[in-house]
Amino acid sequence: MSFQRTLRLMTRYSAWANQLIFEAAGRLPPEEVIRPRAGPFKNIVHTLNHIYVIDQIFQSHLQGRPHGFSARNTADSPALGDLWTAQRAIDEWYVSFSDAAKEGELEEVIRFVFVGGGEGAMTRGEMVLHVVNHTTYHRGFVSGCFYQIPIPPPTTDLPVFLRDAGPELVD
């Protein structure tokens, strides 16, 4: 499998899994998505907002423009529905980026400054893989919050995506 095909698969997987988690969060009692939780983020919505902020930061790096963030999350989070609209749009952007990228372009190194300080350098392909991996990691935290309610979270594993998504999403 080529690197570009891997990125196409992974960005589609991430968008699919985000849809499942946002739809499931939307079915929760409204007070549960903003209920304070133990951990690095305030609540479910704030965790999902962190994912979106990081997606925007790396999108900006890939586009060669400043992102304007001074932290890895915002002080306040938008409403869940508004955040889902924004997340869906950026997920579509990453899918389109992976569709259009050529193998050679994915190897281009981009230098940047981390929000927390320090110099960074990653290839375009590494940035996309980071975004997918980062999102998967924090969706796991959101899934843990579901168990605290207690309501089982959706299953967002890659093998389930491969089984359920259909060839139009995988190829």
For residues 26-35, average pLDDT: 97
Q: What pLDDT score was predicted for residue 138?
A: 97
How far apart CA 158 and CA 133 sit, in angstroms, is 12
Confidence check: pLDDT of 166 > 80: no
Q: Are 138 and 156 in contact (CB under 8 A)?
A: no
For residues 52-76, average pLDDT: 97
Q: What pLDDT score was predicted for residue 38?
A: 86
Confidence check: pLDDT of 168 > 80: no
Tokens for 101, please give them.
């990228």
How far apart CA 12 and CA 22 sit, in angstroms, is 15
| Percent of the chain residues topping a pLDDT of 70 | 97
Global pTM? 0.95
Q: What pLDDT score was predicted for residue 72?
A: 96
For residues 108-135, average pLDDT: 97
Q: What pLDDT score was predicted for residue 26?
A: 98
